Amino acid sequence: FNEVPTGYPIPGQTMVYDTTPTIDLENVPLNGGFLVKTLVVSIDPYMRGRMRDASVKSYVAAFKVGEPLENYGVCVVLRSENSALGAGDHLYGMLPFEEYSIQTKPEKFGKIKNEHNLPWRVFVGAAGMPGQTAYCAWKEYAQAKKGEAAFITAGAGAVGSLVIQFAKRDGLKVIASAGSDEKVAFMKEIGADVVFNYKTTKTSEVLAKEGPIDVYWDNVGGETLDAALAHAARYARFIECGMISGYNAAAYPIMNLMNVMTKEIKMYGFVMTSILPKYRSAFYTEIPALLASNELVFKEELTKGLEGAGEAILAVQKGTNSGKSVVVVADQ
Ligand code: NDP
């Protein structure tokens, strides 16, 4: 991480690829820690929020200028001086964007059992943080009733595409939006009833025709949230998962906030790490099996090598990614 951006992060400037070796793999002392090889790291929208001035407080620490970026990843243990872990263990947790690193805290990681033989990269996607976000918050907040209408934004993305499938499994009518015709076709494929490209069709017109909406899964905020407020049913639940339209741009003035009162809307803002402990065990019992049997489907956008991470970060912010963005650092 090289520089705090204003607006969109710039590959080669905000984040740079550094080829300086930092570890002598053969001789590096572990001092009670363990040496890991990174297999994959995830690229997620929230990383933009970490690219801020470190003095600004938020729910997650800022990246430090001059130090590697970090995010959820999967690694394999090569050597360990910690009795809790051994060579060959596959771990999921926060990793630096480095090919190899020495870790000291096993409790920061979860050992992956991989009973269904999924590719390791799936554990940062549908079987990882975005999957957990969709699963936990849908269960915790949707209060879904068969026949209700749900509106899901960024519906072709890592979180949104799973939410669409959870909503359909619960018997809801699903209205879903995304930013390209290819993404719109994918949302239809995975079962959404009404799909549209929000760049070419006005959200408020679709909701006026297909709403009112009982559940709104918000991944984008801004003008879309305002339209959802205008077309909410009485007692609607708004699941405030993300507001990506404001991550790189000035805030949009919300005009319809009074509907929260007049329609008795419940708005649930959440950070997934807070609700995960309640659902973690159910998630790992249920979701990897559904992914392995293709009862739940997902799309991935793979980048090979850390040198492409900067472009991948920008693509997720701009929406030119198609599916869960993952950097594959090593095959095994
Ligand atoms: P996605 O895979 O959906 O990628 C982000 C997508 O956001 C882009 O592909 C793009 O899709 C869309 N987008 C980008 N800019 C805009 C814009 N200005 N207006 C509308 N859509 C835009 O990411 P995830 O599924 O990983 O994350 C989805 C949301 O969930 C994000 O807001 C993220 O921050 C949030 N999140 C929140 C968590 C929590 O704990 N609260 C945890 C994990 C994720 P398109 O082409 O359709 O525009």
ipTM: 0.99
Atom of ligand 1 at shortest range from CA of 271: 40
Could you read off the pLDDT of 126-172 as tens digits, one per residue?
A: 999 999 999 999 999 999 999 999 999 999 999 999 999 999 999 99
- Contact by Cβ (8 Å): 230, 207: yes
332 vs 10 pLDDT, higher one: 10
How many angstroms does the Cα of residue 178 sit away from the middle of ligand 1? 10
Residue 304 CB coordination number (10 Å): 11
CA distance 219 to 230: 17
- For ligand 1, atom 11, which residue shows the shortest CA distance? 319
pLDDT (tens digit per residue) in 289-327: 999 999 999 999 999 999 999 999 999 999 999 999 999
Evaluate: CB of 321 within 6 angstroms of ligand 1.
Answer: yes
Q: Is the pLDDT of residue 226 over 90?
A: yes
Which residues are 324's β-sheet partners? 300
Model confidence band, residue 21 (pLDDT cutoffs 50, 70, 90): confident
What separation in Å is there between the alpha carbon of 158 and the centre of ligand 1?
Answer: 8
For 327, other C-beta atoms within 10 Å of its C-beta total: 26
pTM of the prediction? 0.97
Measuring from atom 14 of ligand 1, which residue has the nearest CA?
319
